[in-house]
Structures are given as C-alpha cells and as structure tokens.
Amino acid sequence: MRSLTIRHVTTYRYRHPVAFGEHRMMLRPRDSHDQRVIEVSLEINPAPSSLRYEQDDFGNHIAIAEFAGVATELSFASIVSLEHSPDDALHPGLDDAAAIFPVDYGDDEMTDLAHCIRRHDIGTDDAVAQWARRFLPVDGQIPALELLTRLSQGIHDGFLYRRREAKGVQPPAETLQLGHGSCRDFALLLIDAARSLGLAARFVSGYLATMPDVAPTEAHGATHAWAQIYLPGTGWIDFDPTSGNVGKGSLVTVAVVRDPDQATPLHGTFVGSRSDTLGMEVHVSVTPHGSVTT
C-alpha cells in the first residue's frame, strides 16, 4: 500500500471579463477495495455562488458549481490524498467457466451488463469487429483473459500514441483508419472491440500515477483513460491499451461509465464570444508519501 497526493489544476483564461455558467467536475477518485480517499479539497477561484455534491447513476462523485459576477480567469484546484493498494496477483479468481472464450453471462448478469455490451455507430463493414477477430485462433479455444490481453497489446504495439488537447473521442473505426490516437481513443477502441465479441466493457477515467523505483518528493502524473472488461467469476478487469498493461498497478480510478462522454473531468460554459477565449492549462502532479502499513 502507498499513500499519494494528487493535485489537478485547471485554469481558463479570457481576453475580456466573462460570466460563467454551471460547471460540473468529476475529479474525486472512487473509494474501493484497492483505493481509499483520505482527504479532499477543492479550491475554485473566483469562488462560486453555490457548490453542491452528488453521485451519478454509476456511483461517480460529481461537484457542481454556479457563479455570479464576471472575471478574466477561472481556476479549479483539486487536491486529493488517498491510499492506493492494487492487488499484485493477477485475477486469481478466474475459474474454468470464465476462463475460455466465448464466455457465458448468466441471466442475472446480463440484466446488469446489457448496456455495456450494446454498441453504437457500427458502420456497414464493421471494421472494428473484423480487426478484433484477427486475434482469435484459427482453430481451438483461447482463454478469455489471453484474448483480451492480446487485444490490448495489439493496440499498444500497432498504433501510435498522440496526445490530443481537443475534447471528445475519435470513433473506433477512425482510430483504426488513422493508426494513431490518445489514451481515450485507445480505450474506446478496446471497448468496442470487446463488445463486438460479446463481452461487457466500460470506460474508465482517472490518473496515471507512475512511480520510479526511488520515489522523489514529486512524481509525474497525468489524467488517463482505460477500459474495464467483465468476466464471470472474476468481475471487472482493468486493461490499459496505451501501455498494454493488465491490472491497476499505476491507475487511480475517478469515474467508471458506459461511454466516454459521461466521464468528462470538467465541463462548463461561459457567456461571451468565442474570441474571448485565450486558452486552458491543465497541470497534474502526483506526490508519493512512502509505504503505508496496516
């Protein structure tokens, strides 16, 4: 187990004073068996006229701010301290029934998982499904975990990573055609490929907390996106196609959703012209505090 402090600062700047509409923030990590939030602070400047908190249908934490007055700058600073303890053992719960592809979801599971299997914008040639089937053996069976690992590794090895500042996510077929994308694009490609094979998959957003062997006072961190895929007898398994890794070793989960547009870290509006916008800056840092024993 390790203790981390994640500082995520977003600043918007404008040429002239503008008024601000409602802003929704998904910045607080989820509490689970492998990560526990200890302390949270949210600093907003200028201060909002109201700030409330709620949880969405997926159990993600949302902060909603409303503003009065005008300003040329708006900043959000989220500071979170948490304990992070991902299991080093890779999914020991995989049993024989879940191990071989195709997997069989029970009726009760299908009731809850159907929305994570349904696909969108498939296209006439269904290029994603054709690509995914390349990873199936010509004859014989394949363990489901091995198949999914092949898919994730196939994205890592076969596509060029490009950081994109633009909002939104590329359609999976476009990522296939272009041969490059961001972590969000790779996550969605893996999700759609898994769904094309009848597997339940969902989108995850959060932080990449990569720690060197000798931890400095501050380590590099970044916002990140990856996929979770459900296998009977095991549950949701994390796959990061950007790195090709399986499991949550360096991943801090903030939001788990069906589709990427439901996991925007920060979304809001302003009253003014498009030319008033000078830009946005985002800074993420992760500070380790050594091991924590229980």
Distances (CA, A) of 210 to 10, 79, 243, 257, 291: 21, 18, 12, 23, 15
Domain membership flag for residue 198: yes
Whichever domain contains 67, its CATH number is 2.60.40.2250
Q: Give me the pLDDT at residue 29, please.
A: 97
Q: Quick one: 165 and 201 in the same domain?
A: yes
Domain membership flag for residue 91: no
By the 8 A CB rule, do 149 and 99 touch? no
Q: 73-77, 148-152, 161-165, 219-223: which range is least confident on average?
A: 219-223
pLDDT > 80? residue 277: yes
Q: Give me the pLDDT at residue 120, please.
A: 80
Q: Quick one: 115 and 228 in the same domain?
A: yes
Q: By three-state DSSP, how is residue 287 classified?
A: strand
Whichever domain contains 160, its CATH number is 3.10.620.30
Cα–Cα distance measured from residue 133 to residue 137, given in angstroms and rounded to the nearest whole number: 9
Domain membership flag for residue 90: no
Domain membership flag for residue 20: yes
Q: Give me the pLDDT at residue 46, please.
A: 97
Q: What is the pTM of this model?
A: 0.90
2 CB-contact burial (10 Å; exposed 0-12 / middle 13-18 / buried 19+)? middle
Q: Quick one: 66 and 109 in the same domain?
A: no
pLDDT > 60? residue 94: no
Mean pLDDT value across the chain = 89
138-162 pLDDT tens trace: 887 899 999 999 999 999 999 999 9
Question: Of the ranges 48-52, 141-145, 219-223, 261-265, which is most confident?
Answer: 48-52
Q: Quick one: 79 and 106 in the same domain?
A: no
Q: Give me the pLDDT at residue 88, please.
A: 54
Q: Residues 39-72, buried b or exposed e (16+ Cβ, 10 A)?
A: ebebebeeebeeeeeeeeeeebbebebebeeebe
Domain membership flag for residue 89: no
pLDDT > 80? residue 96: no
Cα–Cα distance measured from residue 67 to residue 21, given in angstroms and rounded to the nearest whole number: 7
DSSP of 232-279: TTTEEEEEETTTTEESSTTEEEEEEESSGGG--SEEEEEES-GGGEEE
Q: Give me the pLDDT at residue 213, please.
A: 45
Domain membership flag for residue 16: yes
277: containing domain: 2-84+264-291
Which residues on neighbouring strands pair with residue 266, listed in sequence order? Answer: 25
Q: Give me the pLDDT at residue 93, please.
A: 52
Q: Quick one: 194 and 129 in the same domain?
A: yes
By the 8 A CB rule, do 9 and 282 touch? yes
pLDDT > 70? residue 275: yes
Q: Quick one: 37 and 122 in the same domain?
A: no
Cα–Cα distance measured from residue 50 to residue 59, given in angstroms and rounded to the nearest whole number: 22
Per DSSP, the chain holds a count of helices (H) and strands (E) of: 6, 16
Domain membership flag for residue 110: yes
Q: pLDDT grade, residue 285 (50/70/90)?
A: very high
Cα–Cα distance measured from residue 137 to residue 95, given in angstroms and rounded to the nearest whole number: 21
Count of domains forming the chain: 2
108-121 pLDDT tens trace: 999 999 999 999 87
Question: Looking at residue 31, what DSSP letter applies?
Answer: P
Q: Give me the pLDDT at residue 97, please.
A: 46
Which residues on neighbouring strands pair with residue 286, listed in sequence order? Answer: 6, 219
Q: pLDDT grade, residue 290 (50/70/90)?
A: low
Q: Quick one: 204 and 108 in the same domain?
A: yes
Residues 6+ apart with CB under 8 A from 55: 61, 62
290 or 41, which is more confident: 41
- For the record, the structure tokens of 104 come out as 């069989």
Q: Quick one: 189 and 106 in the same domain?
A: yes
Q: Quick one: 32 and 116 in the same domain?
A: no
163-211 pLDDT tens trace: 877 778 999 999 999 999 999 999 999 999 999 999 999 999 999 987 5
Q: Quick one: 70 and 149 in the same domain?
A: no
Share of the chain above pLDDT 90, in %: 74
Q: Quick one: 53 and 69 in the same domain?
A: yes
Cis geometry, peptide bond prior to residue 102 (ω within 30 degrees of 0): yes
Q: Quick one: 183 and 223 in the same domain?
A: yes
Cα–Cα distance measured from residue 135 to residue 167, given in angstroms and rounded to the nearest whole number: 31
Domain membership flag for residue 59: yes
